[in-house]
Structure 1
Amino acid sequence: MKTTTLILMLLVSTLSIAQNVVDGRVIDSFDQPIPGVSVTVKGTSVSTISDFDGNFSLTTEKNYPFTLIASSIGFDDATFVVTSDTKDITIVLEDITFLDELVISASRAPERLFESPVSIERYGIKQIKNATSADFYGDLENIKGVDINTNSLALKSINTRGFATFTNTRFVQLIDGMDNTAPALNFVLGNLVGTNELDVQNIELLPGASSALYGANAFNGILFMNSKNPFDYQGISAYAKGGITSQEAAGDNEFYDVGVRMAHAFSDKFAAKANFSILKGTDWLAADKRDLENPGATRENNVGYDGLNVYGDEAKGSLRGLAAQNPAFDQSLLPLLPETVVSRTGYDEADLNDNDVESLKFDTSLHYRPFANDFEVIYAGKLGRGTTVTQDANRTLLRNFFLQQHKLEVKNDNFFVRGYITAEDAGDSYDIRFTGLNINNAWKSDGQWFQEYILTYLGAIGTNPNDPAAQQAAHAAARQVAETGRLIPGTPEFEQAFNQVTSDPDLASGSKFLEKSSFRHADANYNFSHLTSNFADIQIGGSFREYKLDSEGTVFTDVDGPIKYSEYGVYTQLQRKLLDERLKLTGSVRYDKSQLFDGNFSPRFSVSYTFGANKTRNLRASVQTGFRNPTTQDLFIGLDIGRTLLVGSAPENLDRYTVQDDFNNVYTGRDAYENSYSASSVQRFAETGNPADLEIADIDIVKPEKVTAYELGYRAQFGDFIFDGSVYYNQYQDFIANETVIVPGQGVVNGTDAEQLQAIQSLTSAGTRRTFTASTNSDVDINSYGAVAGFTYKIKGFDLNANYTYAKEDFDKEENPDFRSNFNTPEHKVKASIGNDELFKNFGFNTSFVWSDEYLWESDFGVGDIPSYTIINAQINYSIPALKAKLKVGANNLGGDEYFTAIGSGFIGSQYYVGLSINNL
Structure 2
Amino acid sequence: MIKKMLLFAFLVFGSATMLAQTIITGTVKDAKTGETLPGANIKVERKAVGTNTDFDGKFTLNVSDVPPFVLEISVLGYKTEKVEVKKNNQNIAVLLSENETFLDEIIVSASRTPERIMESPVTVERLDARAIKNTSSPSFYDGLENLKGVDINSNSLTFKSVNTRGFATFANERFMQLVDGMDNSAPGLNFAVGNLLGISELDVKSVEILPGASSALYGANAFNGIMFMRSKSAFDDQGVSFSLKSGITSQKAAGDNEFKDLNIRMAYVFSNYFAAKATLSYLKGTDWYATDYRDEVDASSTSHFNNTAYNGLNVYGDEVGTILDFDAISGAPVGTFGATRVTRTGYTDTDFMNNEAKSVKFGASLNYRPLGDDRVEVIFNSKFGTGNTIYQGQNRYNIKNFTLAQHRLEVKGKNFFVRAYTTAEDAGDSYDTRFAAINVNRMWSTDSNWFTEYAGAYLGAAASFGVPGMNHDAARAFADRARLSPGSPEFNAAKEIVVNDPNLLTGAKFQDQTKLYHGDANLNLRDYINFAEIQIGGSMREYRLNSQGTIFTDYDGPISYTEAGAYIQGQKRMLDDRLKVTASARYDKAINFKGNVSPRISLSYAVGEDKRHNFRASLQTGFRNPTAQDQYIGLDAGSGILVGTAPDNIERYRSLPYELGINPALAGYINAVAGTTIGATQVLTGDMAYNNSWTVSSLQAFAASRNPADLKKSNIDFVAPEYVTAYDIGYRGVLAGVTIDINAYYNKYEDFIASKNAAAPLYGNVNFSDAVDLGPATGGAQGITPLALIAVANGDYKGIAFDSNSDSDISSYGLGIGLSKKVMNGFDLGFNYSFAKFEEAGGTDPDFEAGFNTPEHKIKVQFGKTDLFENFGFNVNYRWQDEFLWQSSFYDGMVDARSVVDAQINYTIPSLSSVIKLGGANLGGKEYFSAPGVGATGSQFYLSWTIGN
> What TM-score, normalized to structure 1?
0.94
- Structure 1 gaps of 5+ residues are 463-468
- Taking the aligned partners of 1:639 and 1:558, their CA distance within structure 2 comes to 11
- Do structure 1's residue 515 and structure 2's residue 509 form an aligned pair? no
Change (3 A) 1:72 1:650: same
- The structure 2 residue matched to 1:78, chosen from 66, 70, 81, is 81
Taking the TM superposition and a 5 Å limit, the aligned residue runs for 1:274-289 are 274-289=278-293
Matching residue within 552, 556, 560 for 1:556: 552
Q: In the alignment, is residue 270 of structure 1 matched against residue 270 of structure 2?
A: no
Structure 2 distance, partners of 1:245, 1:145, is: 27
Q: Which amino acid aligns with 2:927?
A: E
> Are the equivalent residues in 2 in contact too, given 1:401–1:427 (CA < 8 A)?
yes
CA distance in 1, matches of 2:615, 2:153: 32
Out of 308, 325, 328, the residue aligned to residue 320 of structure 1 is: 325
* 339-348 vs 18-27, greater mean Cα deviation: 18-27
Partner residue, 2:876: 847
Instruction: Tell me the equivalent position of 1:41.
Output: 44
Relative distance call for 1:7 and 1:521 in structure 2 (3 A) is closer
Tell me the equivalent position of 2:182: 178
1:466 is matched with which residue? Answer: none
Offset of residue 655 of structure 1:
2.2
Partners of 1:916 and 1:308 in 2: CA distance: 40
For 1:441 and 1:6, the matched residues in 2 are separated by: 87
- What's the secondary structure of 2:266's corresponding residue? strand
Structure 1 residues 55, 223: closer, same or farther in 2, change over 3 A?
Answer: farther
CA deviation vs aligned residue, 1:395-435 (integer Å, no higher than 9, x gap): 00110100000000001011100000000001111111111
The answer as to whether partners of 1:744 and 1:760 remain within 8 angstroms in 2 is yes
Question: 8 Å contact 1:336–1:458 — kept in the other structure?
Answer: no
Q: 1:598 maps to what in 2?
A: 594
Partners of 1:746 and 1:758 within 8 A in 2? no
Distance in 2 between residues matched to 1:178 and 1:53, nearest whole Å? 40
Q: Which residue number in structure 1 is paired with residue 793 of structure 2?
A: 765
**Contact 1:274 1:363 (C-alpha < 8 Å) held by counterparts:** yes
The 1-side partners of 2:880 and 2:923 are apart by 13
Residues 444 and 483, structure 2, Cα contact 8 Å, conserved in 1: yes
Instruction: Say which SS state the counterpart of residue 340 (structure 1) adopts.
Output: strand
Q: Is the 8 A contact 2:26 2:93 kept in 1?
A: yes
Contact 2:48–2:235 at 8 Å: present in 1 too? no
SS at match of 2:478: helix
Does structure 1 conserve the Cα–Cα contact (< 8 Å) formed by 2:809 and 2:842? no
Amino acid at match of 2:358: E
User: Structure 1: which amino acid aligns with 2:353?
Assistant: N
> Closer, same or farther in 2 for the Cα pair 1:691/1:12, shift >3 Å?
closer
- Residue 863 of structure 2: which of 823, 834, 837 is its match? 834
Q: Which residue of 2 aligns with 1:792?
A: 820
Paired with 1:43 and 1:909, the residues of 2 have a C-alpha distance of: 48
1:740–1:818 Cα contact (<8 Å) kept: yes
Counterpart residue number, 2:235: 231
Q: Aligned equivalents of 1:52 and 1:871: distance in 2?
A: 38
Number of residue pairs the alignment of both structures matches: 905
Structure 1 residues 141 and 45, CA, compared in 2 at 3 Å: closer, same or farther? closer
Residue 882 (1) aligns with residue 925 (2): no
Alpha-carbon separation, structure 2, partners of 1:8 and 1:642:
78
Partner of 1:689: 706
Bigger Cα displacement from structure 2, 596-605 vs 649-658? 649-658
* Residue among 474, 479, 489 paired with 1:492: 489
Aligned equivalents of 1:82 and 1:288: distance in 2?
67
Deviation at 1:611, TM superposition (A): 1.1
Q: State the match for 1:346 in structure 2.
A: 346
CA deviations over 1:788-828 (Å, ceiling 9, x no partner): 11012123221111100000011149975311111100000
Tell whether the 8 Å contact from 2:769 to 2:786 is kept in structure 1 after alignment: no
Query: Within 2, Cα distance between the matches of 1:759 and 1:803?
Result: 60
Kindly indicate whether residue 195 of structure 2 is the aligned counterpart of residue 199 of structure 1: no
Q: Is 1:312–1:345's contact at 8 Å kept on the other side of the alignment?
A: yes
Q: Of the candidates 605, 608, 622, which is equivalent to residue 609 of structure 1?
A: 605
CA distance in structure 2 between the partners assigned to 1:33 and 1:342 by the alignment: 76
In 1, Cα distance between the equivalents of 2:484 and 2:161?
A: 36
Per-residue CA deviations over 1:438-457 (Å, capped at 9, x if unaligned) read: 11011111111011001111
Q: Work out the CA distance in 1 between the residues paired with 2:505 and 2:862.
A: 51
Aligned to 1:737: 754
- Please list the CA deviations of residues 465-506 of structure 1 after superposition, one character each: whole Å capped at 9, or x if unmatched: xxxx998x5212211210111101121100100100010011
Q: RMSD over aligned Cα, in angstroms?
A: 2.5
1:619 Cα deviation from its structure 2 partner: 1.0
Following TM superposition, by how much is the alpha carbon of 1:84 offset from its aligned partner in structure 2, in angstroms? 6.5
Aligned-partner Cα distance in 1 for 2:541–2:837 = 34
Counterpart contact for 1:461–1:474, Cα < 8 Å: no
| CA shift for structure 1 position 333 | 6.8
Distance 1:656 1:243 in 2: 50
Partner of residue 475 from structure 2, selected from 460, 473, 478 = 478
- 1:525 counterpart = 2:522: yes
Distance between the aligned counterparts of 1:456 and 1:819, measured in 2? 42
Q: 1:27 to 1:398 in 2, by over 3 A?
A: farther
Tell me how far 1:75 sits from its aligned partner.
2.4
Match of 2:71 among 49, 68, 73: 68
Displacement, 1:692?
2.1
Q: Is the 8 A contact 1:675 1:698 kept in 2?
A: no
Distance 2:130 2:844 in 1: 49
User: For 2:452 and 2:484, how far apart are their aligned partners in 1?
Assistant: 19
Q: Counterparts of 1:211-222 in structure 2 under 5 Å?
A: 211-222=215-226
Distance 1:399 1:188 in 2: 16
Could you tell me how far 1:665 is from its partner in structure 2? 3.7
Moved more, 496-505 or 348-357: 348-357
CA distance in 1, matches of 2:683, 2:46: 76
My pick for the range that moved more, 292-301 or 369-378, is 292-301
Q: What do the CA deviations read for 1:176-217 (whole angstroms, capped 9, x no partner)?
A: 000011011112111110011111001111000000100111
- State the match for 2:763 in structure 1: 746
Which of these residues, 17, 39, 50, is aligned with residue 19 of structure 2? 17
Q: Does the C-alpha gap of structure 1 residues 196 and 34 become closer, same or farther in structure 2, counting only changes over 3 Å?
A: farther
Aligned equivalents of 1:136, 1:689: Cα separation in 2: 56
Which residue identity does 2:295 align to in structure 1? D
Distance 1:448 1:758 in 2: 30
User: Does the 8 Å contact 2:927/2:938 carry over to 1?
Assistant: yes
The CA distance in 2 between the partners of 1:887 and 1:722, in whole Å, is 30
Q: Provide the C-alpha distance between the structure 2 equivalents of 1:258 and 1:556, rounded to a whole number of angstroms.
A: 37
AA aligned opposite 2:895 = I
Q: CA deviation at 1:79?
A: 3.1
Question: C-alpha deviations, 1:532-585, integer Å up to 9, x for none?
Answer: 1x3111111000000001111111111100111111001111111111111111
Letter in 2 for 1:415: F
- How far apart are the structure 2 equivalents of 1:43 and 1:484? 76
Q: Does residue 115 in structure 1 map to residue 115 in structure 2?
A: no
Structure 2 distance, partners of 1:792, 1:305, is 51
Amino acid at match of 1:68: L
8 Å contact from structure 2 (residues 768, 788) kept in 1: no
Alignment correspondent of 1:465: none
Question: Following the alignment from structure 1 to structure 2, what is the Cα–Cα distance between the partners of residues 566 and 37?
Answer: 47
